[in-house]
A and B are shown apart, each in its own frame.
Chain A
């Protein structure tokens, strides 16, 4: 029942996104014919191509045709490169996925332990240091942090490549650039939510039972503090899968975010539509996955559902 409900809302959101994107793209000045034929083409040539592409039909028929093609897995071709869009997505999305997962791992590995440490040392100098560092990390924009990391680790130390996707180590710097910002958010969130539960009765009971401090923190306190952290991780993962344009651009990382922005700049409408669809699907799937994890993390969610 839970899954049916979720999947029906999933379908509604995707349909809404498709309709909105389609309408918005048709409201933007200019049309694909203008982009394809340039400024020298005659009016007759423009009219012929417009008719061939079905752009003279009513908007509702065009949308119907678009949905019918989509149902057959046909996303069309890029206006500029003539590449089938499905091929572009197949090459770009895995790159984004790889970067998103790597950044998330870095964020989790740094953020959660630091958050726990800060909570356990609340109001001591260690807590202030961790809080200050995490604020600094979250305040560093990718367009600044990325080149600084390149300068230090690639140019000065010569340890890592500056940019590109040729070697396995190429992912380290972009993943750190994204992961550090994420770790800062997770540190603060873990600290706050752990502090909220550390003074609860069930923690006092656990301690009174003689459980070790490690067991109390990891098995009791952290589990109870996990829900807001899962929410943040879900939201951040959604953003990462939507593509992180600045980081992808700086590091020449051929991901979906860069493809989306470039298609908007070049008015490559079919590519824009397809990218928005993929991004929307990612968001919806991550949210669905987050909801499922909630049910495992907190039995109260299962009961209320």
Chain B
């Protein structure tokens, strides 16, 4: 009996033996699968990253995070702003959807009209200022607003959907049809996309566990992984000759949020003490990937609003921090509760912060909560300190939404309930350099770092590098060298 069982197991193993057969296809192992491929509903990072590849918006952002035209032509003589209440766009004539239909102004109008009619879309509120959308001709569309909004162009980043399918209530969430560089093929255990230019198949498979993602890459089951790995695993991959690791600077801002309604934390001296109680550079050097950098503001130094603005990074000075606390009349140690998620790297950061703050006289109590509970607490203001990261922020409007006194939840992201009349005036005037400096001095957030980005891939994968905000746009250019030879054959 035992022999028969062993023989069966042996046969099974033999049948399964050998390298995975994924010739031609590029397999990308991702930490979190997209939830919804309808851009009118998608909010999670993975969905937004995939939707950027499947759909094309009217505008996007350049390296300095200035809006640039995508579907609209960049020719200012034909695509222009009439005034701050009317915006006219002339569309590219060559854009076509994956179903072969030409993309016209009717599709743009249908996309935004349908968004506004959805009662359960998280993006509808963003466009509630639109009064009407007029199709002037096949390739010209006019947006008329209720109130002037000089940042309106930067909001038009929603992927355009085909009007005919919108009218048929097509299930874009699971069978997206766009006009982007990658076309949807199927979505079962993995999401399969096809590059329209050369028919390269790219599949995205969710592999939640970081160690398993690394093992899949080493085994050859995955060709590419990006981000979401602890630095020791990145270092392990860097030591492997068959793997190539590429890094780039990051633009996603990590910070400590503070409850400004807390009797202690509303004192600026105490916030300053906390800022000086963190050794950011040591954390970056020891437990973060290469190219991580110390942050001073939400928007990174290369952002156009930061040109000419020089912000210093708060240095690690526990003695000064202790003195500031004593000057504020605090009896040491100052006990503070820090909330974070259960993510292993976040918990690790929390324990390091706890150790670094101790010499400054701050006793940090860590509460690690499941994401749903943690984020609900943050939105409800049920915290003293929390740690989060802003991902993919491009426009300076974030300063209003995160610190404006009219933007306490549920009206915005001012989760710390920070109210500063001086800052409100600067925000109203959109004096971004002054806004940045005021926030830097008043510290409603304690800035931490912009975490560096990295991607690890097989040696035969080329033309792929991680982007500062972690998007996957380079899947439009990625090349697998055996694919080239196959094509050549």
Q: Which residues of A contact B (CB under 8 A)?
A: 29-30, 34, 36-43, 45-46, 48-49, 52, 80-83, 109, 113, 147, 150-151, 153-155, 158-169, 172, 249-252, 254, 264-267
Contact = CB atoms under 8 A, between A and B. Distances in A.
B16 A172 contact: yes
Contacts of A48: 119
Contacts of A266: 35, 371-372
B125 A42 contact: yes
A36 B122 contact: yes
Contact of B173 (A42, A81, A153): A81
A252 B206 contact: yes
Interface stretch (B210-218, B448-456, B476-484): B210-218
Of residues A38, A52, A172, which shows the largest number of chain B Cβ atoms within 10 Å of its Cβ?
A38
A46 B126 CA distance: 14
Given A41-B125, A163-B207, 13 more contacts: A29-B373, A29-B380, A36-B122, A39-B409, A40-B126, A42-B125, A42-B128, A46-B410, A164-B189, A164-B207, A165-B189, A252-B208, A254-B189
B418 interface: no
Given A147-B211, A252-B208, A82 B219 contact: no
B410 A166 contact: no
Given A30-B372, A80-B35, A151-B215, A158 B189 contact: no
Contact of A163 (B5, B15, B216): B216
Contacts of A169: 12-13, 15-16
A166 B20 CA distance: 10
Contacts of A249: 208-209
Contacts of A52: 119
- The range of chain B's interface size is 35 or more
Interface in B193-230: 205-209, 211-212, 215-216, 218-219, 221
B372 A252 contact: no
Given A154-B215, A165-B189, A172-B16, A250 B209 contact: yes
B5 A160 contact: no
Contact of B122 (A41, A254, A265): A41
A14 B24 CA distance: 50
Of residues B5, B119, B126, B379, which shows the largest number of chain A Cβ atoms within 10 Å of its Cβ?
B119
B125 A162 contact: no
Interface string B37-64: 0100101100000000000000000000
Interface in B357-389: 370-373, 376-377, 379-380
Interface string B123-145: 01110100000000000000000
Contacts of B120: 36-37, 49
A162 B211 CA distance: 11
B413 interface: yes
Nearest to B5: A109
Contacts of A109: 5
* Main SS class of interface, B: loop
12 contacts: A29-B377, A29-B380, A34-B410, A39-B379, A40-B126, A80-B36, A113-B1, A147-B215, A162-B221, A163-B212, A164-B205, A169-B16
Contact of A150 (B16, B208, B212): B212
Given A29-B376, A83-B173, A249-B208, A160 B13 contact: yes
B215 to A, nearest CB: 5
B416 to A, nearest CB: 14
Contacts of B467: none
The 7 A-B residue pairs with the shortest CB-CB distance, nearest first, are: A169-B16, A38-B122, A80-B35, A40-B125, A41-B125, A82-B173, A30-B376
Contacts of B219: 154-155, 158, 161-162
Contacts of A151: 215
Interface in B58-73: none
A113 to B, nearest CB: 7
Contacts of B380: 29
Nearest to A248: B208
Nearest to A261: B370
A147 B126 contact: no
Contact of B119 (A49, A83, A250): A49
Contacts of B36: 80-82
Nearest to A253: B189
Contacts of B209: 147, 249-250
B372 A155 contact: no
Contacts of A46: 410
Contacts of B307: none
A264 B15 contact: no
B16 A159 contact: yes
B213 to A, nearest CB: 9
Interface string B1-36: 110010000001101111110000000000000011
B412 interface: yes
Contacts of B20: 161
Interface in B282-305: none
